Amino acid sequence: MKEPEHIEMSWRSVDVGGGVRIRYGVAGTGHKPVLLIHGYPETAIAWRRIVRPLVEQGYKVIAPDVRGAGGSSRPLHGYDKSTMAQDCSVVLRDAGVLERALIVGHDIGLMIAYAFARKYPESTRGIAVLDAPLPGTAAFDQVSLDDRRVWHFHFHQAPDIPEALTAGKEAYYLERFWHDLAYDAGAIDEVTKASYISSFSGPGGMRAGFELYRSFAADAEFNRAQLAARGKTKIPVLALAGESSAFSTIMKSMMEEVAEKVSFAVISNAGHWLAEENPSAVAHAMINFDQSILDHDG
């Protein structure tokens, strides 16, 4: 299969425990580590257009295929975002990152990034979260009532039925997300789509994707418990949303439910897949946000 565009990473894997291996890419040798956590139904190559501008600005980029996706293991369990954040912590250590990192998450990756910041605040310089609701917030509960917008949240949580109905139809099913949630449906090219589809069409691939959603109740419980016990996080947060995304109206207020310092920006000419639809704007926003943290820390 032809490789997707702009992949300039060296690929490794690490055992995170329980026989689960996480594959991750590394690019750059800069002194500013950044962890990029993709969402569903994608893999680490979702960040392919973000890597170069970050490396050029002195970043060391680490981008894992999360548990269940890409070249990583597809275990039966462990899709709660606290466990997946632990996976990411092991990845950072394996990549030789000792200082605090900028943690970036899109879609499901947003949920993992937030869990990471809660579990490992000493390892987190800042959080950039892209275009998704966070379980355990009032915003998430409100969005979940909109069956038209997030019908798949409910469908994916049903036991067995999603696997049965999508078997042999993986490409058709996944294509709907990239088309329906995009501002520019052509931003995800056919080679990249084929790579994503190959990942989720393999043994256990679709089930692993659905397990991300079946863990939402556990994720909400974790997030509420963290907020009740420790209050809002003091780690700086950047919330980004695509201008045509349905989530653009909730991102700022949602993150203000759980964080004290929230910056917000809308990415023009982008829908849900903003890092692929307008990567230069996303990279620019991330770099400026991180620089403000570095300037403040002195």
Question: Per-residue confidence at 148, pLDDT binned at 50, 70, 90?
Answer: confident
Mean pLDDT, rounded, for 182-198: 96
Continuous segment of H or E residues that includes residue 150: helix 147-157
CB 89 within 8 A of CB 119: yes
d(CA 294, CA 281): 20
Please count the other Cβ atoms lying within 10 Å of the Cβ belonging to residue 212.
Answer: 26
Confidence of residue 5 (pLDDT cuts 50, 70, 90): low
- At 298 the pLDDT is 67
Convert the pLDDT of each residue in 36-85 to its tens digit.
999 999 999 999 999 999 999 999 999 999 999 999 999 999 999 999 99
Peptide bond between residue 41 and the one before it cis (omega within 30 degrees of 0): yes
What percentage of the chain's residues is helix, strand, coil (to nearest 5)? Answer: 50, 20, 30
What domains can you pick out in the chain, each with its CATH number? 10-297 (3.40.50.1820)
End-to-end CA distance of the chain: 46
CA distance 63 to 35: 6
